[in-house]
Every structure is written in structure tokens, then in C-alpha cells.
Amino acid sequence: MKQNKFINFEKDVGIFIRGKAPPFDFSFLALTGILALFGSIMVFSAGAAYAEFRYGDEYFFIKRQIVWLLLGFAVMLIASRIKPEVYFKITPILYAVTICLLILVLAIGFVGNGAQRWISIGPITIQPSEIAKMTIVMMLAYYFSRNEKLALDKRNAKNKFLYGTLIPCLIMGFPIILVMLQKHLSCIIILGVIGLLVIVASGIDTKYISMFSLVGVMGVASLALFTDYTKDRIMVWRDPESYKLTGGWQTLQGLMAIGSGGLFGLGFGKSLLKFCYVSEPANDMIFAILCEELGFVGAVITIIIFSLLVIRGYTISLRARNVYERLVIFGVCTKIAVQVLLNIAVVTNTIPNTGISLPFFSYGGSSLIMLFFEIGMLLSFSRYARITK
């Protein structure tokens, strides 16, 4: 009998072919599209003056952002066509690759903005810590889906501790230690918060994880208090006025931008402080420019859209068909929520400046494409969720 030489993508590879896929959650996709479009418009408005000053082209940031946006949408659509079973199978591989990249960046990574956190592969620049945010979530979800009975065994304290707390903390902790060696405090906080919330969402007894959480908080606090770089950030945070010509400049200008926006803002494109006053106006501090141009109302609308996206994601998570899909969806949405909250907290000087980007808004390629991949994966899982489409 002749063997068919052609690959059946739907059966053998796990990719839906045209017309064969169940519908994904359109509401989640629509909210993603609104945020991506809104974010790109703000990148142009916030970054035009700085781009003209530094690169001699006011369209420098937006031209590249559009390319990344289109590439990100393509990645999202491809990811949404891959069956959930494929993601489950490749999760350990993705986690192992992430560990290798985190080790590699310590050996051959290049330094940018005073930190060694990136790897160059030809024209492509990769920040492994961004990938780790996704793969930690996936690996924890994979682990709990394989060991749910042991992890949730209420009759056996040994199993609860070993399978419900110790092993998940090791899965989460190893990448965090490697990121810690990069002195990337903001990413350590994000990885720790996301990982712990995914572990708690698995349904384990929180008695043991609370102790591990306390140890983790003490470790991060020690790193912050005894490292010169982070000590300086804390001093600036406590009294930015005393460092207004050095470390406090960015914070003070950002607060001034927020305050000058008032209720309705100065109008789109009419920010004054984006003219080389606010540092990184199209990146970490883009929310400050948004507040200046669109005011309190614009800021609230932005937060509401993010909230709707996260809430819709949690709704899909609650109706997911298995543990793996439920925890991955929960983890991706939690990552978005945590980054939004921390970015706004930094911009408003609620916490020390740690350099956290605002999802869909901050200028950048690798983080945006990674975010779209995660959204695509979630859309793939939503095809099987028991919710009204």
C-alpha cells in the first residue's frame, strides 16, 4: 500500500486548516485590537518629538511599531490556529529553551542601558526574561495538570508540601534566580507575583506557599536594600525633589505631565513635556503622556479597557476544559494585569522606578510580539471554552 507523503496539518502537526477550526472568543480579540491600535497611536503622539530630536525623523518609532504590530498580529493568528494539545506537548521544551537562553545571556549577552539582558541573533534581539514570563506560566500549568491529585492531596501533608509547594516553587524559582543574576528587579517581581498567583489558582493549600512567599519577599527586599543600584532608586522614590537633576528627573517630569493633563487633557498630540522633558516618552513613561494629552478621563478609559480584557480572559479561564488551559489563560491575563498596575504605580511614583513597560502601549518589538503570541495561544484555548461566543 502506498503511503501518503503529504502532511496532515490538522492531525499530524496540530494546526487547524482553513474552515476546520471552532470559533474563538471574538470579544477578547476585539479588546486586544482596540488596545493595540490605541497603543500604536499613542506611540506616535508620545514619541514623535523625541524621535525627531534623536533620529531626525518624527515617524521613526511609529514606522517600526507598525511593522512589529503587523508581525505580532500574524504571530497571533498563527498561534490561534495551533491546537491546545500541541502547546501542552511542547511546554517542557519551551521551558528548557528559556533556561538555556537565560544562562546564555549571562555568558554572551550584550549590555544595553547598563544591564546585560539581551542576546543578538543576526538582526534579531531577544530578551529571554520576557520569554520566561510566559514559559513559567506554561510549565506550572503543565506540572499541575500532570500532578493535580498529589498536589491537592489534603490527607497527606508530605504530598501537599512536596508536590503542591516545593516542586512548583523550584519550577518558578530557577528562572527567577537566573534573572536575579541579571539584576533585573522589575522582572523578578513580575515573575514572582505571576508564578505565585498561578500556584495559588491551582487550588493548593496556601499554608506552605505563604511561607515560601515570605522568604521570597525577604529575598527581594534584601536585594533592593543591599544593592547600590536599587538603593539609589529607593532614595529617589522617597524624595525625588532632592534628586531632580539626576535620578528624580524622570519621576518629577512624569508627575508634572499627569498633573497638567487635568480632567480632559491638553488634546491629542499637544503634550508639552514629551519634548525631551519626560524620559522614555514612548516607552516606560508613555502613560504619563497619555494623561497629559487625554487627561483623567482618557486614563480611566484606558484602565477600563485593560480591565475588560483581563475580566474576559478570566471568564474564559473559568470555563476552560482542563487544568492546563485554565491556568495558562489565568497566568497570561494576570501577567497583563500585573504589568499594567506596576507601570502605572511607577509613573505615579507609588513604587520606586523599576522600568516596567505598559502592555500594547510601550514602544518595543520583542515584548509586543511575545504578548501577541500569548494572546494567540489564549484564543486557541478559547475555541473550546464553555462560554457564549
The pLDDT of residue 14 is above 70:
no
pLDDT tens-digit readout, 186-240: 888 899 999 999 999 998 888 888 887 888 778 777 766 667 677 778 888 888 8
pLDDT tens-digit readout, 277-286: 888 899 999 9
Single-letter amino acid code for the residue at 362: S
Question: If DSSP codes are grouped into helix, strand and coil, which group holds residue 121?
Answer: strand
Question: If DSSP codes are grouped into helix, strand and coil, which group holds residue 155?
Answer: coil
CA distance 173 to 255: 35
Among 63-77, 83-97, 205-219, which is the least confidently predicted range?
Answer: 205-219
Question: If DSSP codes are grouped into helix, strand and coil, which group holds residue 373?
Answer: helix
Tell me the pLDDT band of 4, cut-offs 50, 70 and 90.
Answer: very low
Report the alpha-carbon angle 168-150-205, nearest 5. Answer: 65
CB 38 within 8 A of CB 325: no
Closest CA to 223 of 177, 190, 173: 177
List residues bridging with 111 in a β-sheet.
Answer: 116
CA distance 32 to 344: 19
Burial class (CB in 10 A: 0-12, 13-18, 19+), 135: buried
Per cent of the chain over pLDDT 90 is: 56
CB 308 within 8 A of CB 34: no
First to last CA, the chain: 44
CA distance 189 to 354: 10
